Amino acid sequence: MKKIMSLLLMMSFILAGCSSSKSADTMKVLTPNGATALSLVGVYEEITKNGEVKIVEGSELISSELVKKDSEFDAIIAPINLGCQLIAKGQTDYRLAGVLTWGNLYLVQNEDVTNNELAAFGEKAVPGKIFNLVKESSDIMKNSKVTYYNAVSDVQAQVLAGKCQYALMAEPAATATIGKAKQNGTTLKIVASLQELYQKQSGSIEAGYPQAAIFVKNKDDVKDLLSKIEAFTSGKKDEELLTKSIDKIGAETFGIPSAAIGAKTWTNQNINYKDAASVKEDIQSLLKQFGIEYSDDMLIK
């Protein structure tokens, strides 16, 4: 009887060990730069003790790792439409754990220009899709002559050169551009939030739209990581403390203009982790705009 009890006790320890979360400091995380990377500032130093935070520009590596059968990354942050499209096509083993950012698009006006030109970016991606969804609710967007460019940096160059009256920009680039223009005696200002326009039009529960999401293979493994990201991204931030945290790691690490701008625009970047199951109506609504049929099978169990 004692042998049986000992065996059962040993089995319970083994099972408990199998179901426990991996420590955040052993994680390997892949993310695009900018707002999504900045969401990891609260866990960056802990993860990089023994693990890795790989921050990349663009989505090429993100896509290839999502479809790779033997990817070493425990978590991949990607545009929600990209990850869910791959899931729908059966091309990835990763599943949706949560939404990390809720849109950071703003319309910037150059007060010194009156040509009614609007420079935009991301024509076939989330920025272009959201722009087209809400443009009829904005007289500026509805009546402007729109030209799409390859990236936010190209839009920035257009508005700083005075070639357009309006510019679709993402934070923190929008605030950085406004500051840069001010140094040159030009006045730029934010005149619309596409997140507010989207919420009014779609009736979304959250303030904005699901943009960047975290995709994982095993939710139990990343419980510790997700819990810490959720805790860090919820609520208001002390700008001074956040600036110091970003500066300690390096603004260039996250691909943002400066630590001060990263902290100043934190609220406008709409970084706020939500478990996917709790916001699935908003996810379903956005995916529909991309012709992706939502299924609960997309969520990590």
pLDDT tier for residue 20 given thresholds of 50, 70 and 90: low
Residue 79 has pLDDT above 80, yes or no: yes
Give the residue among 54, 62, 92, 89 at the shortest CA–CA distance from 78.
Answer: 62
The pair of three-digit structure tokens given for residue 115, joined into one six-digit string: 């040509």
Q: pLDDT, tens digit, for every residue of 253-266?
A: 999 999 999 999 99
| Range list for CATH 3.40.190.10 in the chain | 24-102+210-298, 105-202
pTM for this one?
0.88
Burial class (CB in 10 A: 0-12, 13-18, 19+), 13: exposed
Domain 24-102+210-298 has CATH 3.40.190.10: yes
Looking at residues 217-223, what average pLDDT do you find? 91
* Inter-axis angle of helices 80-88 and 60-67, nearest 10: 30
Looking at residues 225-244, what average pLDDT do you find? 94
In the prediction, which pLDDT does 5 show? 41
Q: pLDDT, tens digit, for every residue of 169-196?
A: 999 999 999 999 999 999 999 999 999 9
Query: Who contacts 123 (Cβ-Cβ below 8 Å, separation ≥6)?
Result: 148
The domain 105-202: what is its CATH number?
3.40.190.10
In the prediction, which pLDDT does 21 show? 62
In the prediction, which pLDDT does 18 show? 41
Residue 172: is the preceding peptide bond cis (ω within 30°)? yes
